[in-house]
Amino acid sequence: MEYNLKNKSIMVTGGAGFIGSHLVDRLVKEKPSNLVVVDNFFLSKESNLTEAKTNYPKLKIFNQDVGNLFGICPKCGELCKRST
């Protein structure tokens, strides 16, 4: 089965971690329209995403706990937080 991610919006939670950052590097090659990383950097650092930022300058990185997350707006790529 072939997947075309060109017009897709993708969010990777824990995207600065070991598996997540490698997944992000792979997804960048698919040229999605929005690619968003959500990570609280508890176990990682933003420099894990240096290559991804170079190859995909519009990468959005949110320093955010996923527990506070409601979703990503597919149109603007901004983060919608859970209301408290």
Of 25 and 31, nearer to ligand NAD (C-beta) is: 25
Of 6 and 67, nearer to ligand NAD (C-beta) is: 67
**What values do phi and psi take at 79, rounded to 5?**
-85, 130
Cβ contacts of residue 11 below 8 Å, gap of 6+?
36, 37, 38, 71, 72
Question: Does the footprint of ligand NAD cover residue 70 (CB under 6 A)?
Answer: no
> Six-digit token pair at 77?
């790529």
Distance of alpha carbon 19 from alpha carbon 3, whole angstroms: 20
Question: Does the footprint of ligand NAD cover residue 32 (CB under 6 A)?
Answer: no
Of 31 and 46, nearer to ligand NAD (C-beta) is: 46
Select the span of 4-12, 35-43, 54-62, 75-83 touching ligand NAD (CB under 6 A).
35-43
Nearest to residue 25, comparing CAs of 7, 16, 6? 16
User: Would you tell me which residues interact with ligand NAD (CB under 6 A)?
Assistant: 13-14, 16-20, 38-44, 65-67
